[in-house]
Structure 1
């Protein structure tokens, strides 16, 4: 099927010009199938995997229908996690660059309430947030959804898995009865169908395969007996394949943290991502994994939603997923953007029913592979190429990425090519620096000045 250009849609010239400047010329499958329906005002259910381009599909629909002159909340996007909400808001702002004076506001749990209250008082056109925090602002009378014309549920399956039915019901009850509804979900269990029947009006359902070709993913299955063997097998696989970036999926938070601690002791640059972490620790972990200063991320399925990293070259299923669709979604984290990927799954005889379900779902036979032999323990641990430096200053201190880059390269102490991603949040900033230049960079930032003052800084190691 020939990729359709965005110019084939009725989007405004300003939006089309901005898409071209961003390098977005042709639509992905889910965009080509859903965007015309969205622009026509239809209710749409889009089922597609992470990386399918669904965010741009609904974001362009919101922007196409927006009346900038009317400073009221006209579109509401609800996401399961703060990380995903932040990514969606960034994407909307990027696509909205051609529209002047547009305001996109994020309302997420785990973030301070005060700044959100202040932002709500000033108004917004589009709100992106998590169910619990949106509900809280509604109950306090700080947020009005009376003029919402487009309601979006992103990663709807995960919202129900996380128990957000009640907040979602409350939010829906506070939206106008006449509105456009867009629901996007990686999977489509019965609960999602029930939600769609309640929220939507004669929706069009579009299902597309993942944007990456699963032929680019090599799958291996390994037999293990117990937890100790799983841990050793995981270490062997990491030493054998030596991935630049690996995601290991665990079924429970306790397994996730235990495995992460064990891998750290073996010398891996490893971090855990699960529901028991404080928000600041989740943020640091995500920053380090995205900027390549952490090479192994151990995560639960729910916590991993919202991670959008194309350079993952290996996925390990520490246990077989409870649901075959979840397995497919997990391994779809690798082999993206045209890259090759490896997916390794550990299985025991106790999981034979899950393996059988997976074979039926994939219409294939799972053939176990022998684990690498013990010689791999002589292989060096592949370290992450970068180190993250956290700076105790951010947007509230008027700190910008250019200030950090300028400070590091001013006296040629650190080369520009040695500096990776820079992320500035409200009260902190993070800069990735090549490992061999990390100590120098830390000294420059700690002892030098930015914006006429000194900032405390430290290397993030876990």
Structure 2
């Protein structure tokens, strides 16, 4: 099928797809949607960025419209490995549900106070998206009724198992099986190994297994390995960044200490950098991801665990500071680039001890990753790519009745900033974010300091 109109979706979803300019389904959506919409349980092996979120969101919302839940309990439950992915999935559902009346999409995750989330459950949402730990806590307090759930979605199930959520997932799935009947269970994973197969066999009914070949995405990624001396890794990363000059790059490290040390060194070299590692507070993680996605920094340094569940649209360069322990992790890392039909580059740094591991990877890959010497690479400080925007935190959000239009209007009209100098704007519950060009930063901050927005004084600061 070449367009969404042929899938027989409800009118509201067809209008939303048209509004969002989604016309041609991805290969993953074409492979999944017929079975999804027919009500079958399915298990899908597909890489991040293949369009699976849209596929399962359309399925759940179409069922919500065509099979109303008279009891007004949650109609669909989506489990995600991280807060960031839960927020992204929630946003996708919200975009698609704009034309469907009385459709509340609620995100429930840890790292924030539970009381406001419990309060939000007083009016039953149509869809709940959350992390296993927080969902289990709320079910345990008898605040989340699963008896009306008709669609259960396990998104990035392999990541949830890797992050130690196996017991929580078992508990939730068992509770759902006790409370609800006739639930369509959808499992999405980047791999389909032993533990995922157990989930499939235990909690799905005659599930159709769909494996998407990622040969096309591999073809968009140029892979190179550079042999480095042990004390030259940091220098080589700086040299690669100044050589390729990517608009955005992710550098994967093995440990938190490596992330911190490399981030500090690159910042000293003059790069705009954020880090993502397991001991950061949730607000620090959120700020880092927002700055990176908003093109306010060019480089993210991350551990594998901290970076799981992220949905970053376009990354020009991935650097593996050290080679990963197995091919699945390596594939997940490099899959951050070369997405949505764009070309990408993935570079892996190796020393003498790593070369055997790379040879093992090459034996499992369609084409060998070539090895080059890093000795010819040079860091050029005058070739550092500057970020497109600077990030501003605004101390008001939805609770203060602030909208994207309010922020955009204030910056363009009151501060007289041209629209081309404004990047993404995100409105949170109590805080918001705006990206502006550096040349317009002072005027924007002065406007918030000296003038009122919607009749109120609102503080703003550079992130």
Answer yes or no: same fold by TM over 0.5: yes
Q: 1:297 aligns with which of 254, 279, 300?
A: 300
- Counterpart in the other structure of 1:331: 334
The one of 435, 440, 457 equivalent to 1:437 is 440
CA distance in 2 between counterparts of 1:382 and 1:311 reads: 16
Whether 2:187 is the aligned partner of 1:183: answer yes
Match of residue 134 from structure 2: 133
**The residue matched to 1:355 in structure 2 has which SS?**
helix
The whole-number CA distance in structure 2 between the counterparts of 1:211 and 1:444 is 51
The match for 1:195 is 199
- Out of 36-45 and 322-331, give the one that drifted further: 322-331
Shift of 1:317: 0.8
- 2:240 maps to 237
1:394, distance to aligned residue in structure 2 (A): 1.2
Deviation of 1:444 after TM superposition, in Å, equals 1.5
TM-score (norm 1): 0.95
CA–CA distance in structure 1, aligned partners of residues 188 and 84 of structure 2: 17
| CA distance in 1: counterparts of 2:95 and 2:378, whole angstroms | 49
Q: Is the 1:49–1:211 Cα contact (8 Å) retained in structure 2?
A: no
Q: Distance in 2 between matches of 1:211 and 1:384?
A: 32
2:262 corresponding residue in structure 1: 259
Match for residue 215 of structure 1?
219
**Whole-Å Cα distance in 2 between the matches of residues 210 and 82 of structure 1?**
27
Deviation at 1:426, TM superposition (A): 0.7
Q: Counterparts of 1:285 and 1:211 in 2: how far apart (Å)? A: 32
Give yes or no for contact 2:259–2:303 (8 Å, CA) kept in 1.
yes
Residue in 1 that maps onto 2:60 = 62
Query: C-alpha distance in 1, partners of 2:215/2:99?
Result: 27
Deviation at 1:356, TM superposition (A): 2.4
Deviation string, structure 1 residues 192-228 (Cα, Å, up to 9, x no partner)? 11222222111111111349633332221101232x3
Q: Aligned residue pairs: how many?
A: 457
1:318 counterpart = 2:316? no
Contact 2:43 2:187 in 1 (8 A): yes
> What is the deviation of 1:178?
3.5
Number of the residue aligned with 1:118: 119
Within the alignment, does 1:22 sit opposite 2:16 as a pair? no
SS at match of 2:129: strand
1:397 CA drift (Å): 1.4
Q: Alpha carbon RMSD of aligned pairs, Å?
A: 1.8
Alpha-carbon offset, residue 363 of structure 1: 3.2
The 8 Å contact of residues 212 and 337 in structure 1, kept in 2 or not, is answered as no
Alpha-carbon separation, structure 2, partners of 1:400 and 1:293: 21
Secondary structure of residue in 2 paired with 1:312 = coil
How far apart, CA to CA, are the structure 2 residues paired with 1:103 and 1:372? 56
| Structure 2: gaps (5+ residues) | none
Establish whether residue 148 from structure 1 lines up as the match of residue 149 from structure 2.
Answer: yes
Deviation for aligned residue 1:447: 2.0
Judging changes above 3 Å, is the alpha-carbon distance between structure 1 residues 372 and 455 closer, same or farther for their aligned structure 2 residues? farther
Contact 2:104 2:127 in 1 (8 A): yes
8 Å contact kept, 1:76–1:126: yes
CA distance in 2, matches of 1:375, 1:107: 47
Matched, 1:358 2:366: no
Does the CA-based 8 Å contact 1:52-1:210 persist in structure 2? no
**Which position in structure 1 is the counterpart of 2:158?**
157
Match of 1:12 in 2: 10
Instruction: Tell me if structure 2 keeps the 8 A contact 1:237–1:372.
Output: no
* 8 Å Cα contact 1:87-1:306 kept in structure 2: no
Q: TM-score, normalised by structure 2?
A: 0.94
Instruction: Give the drift of 1:274.
Output: 1.9
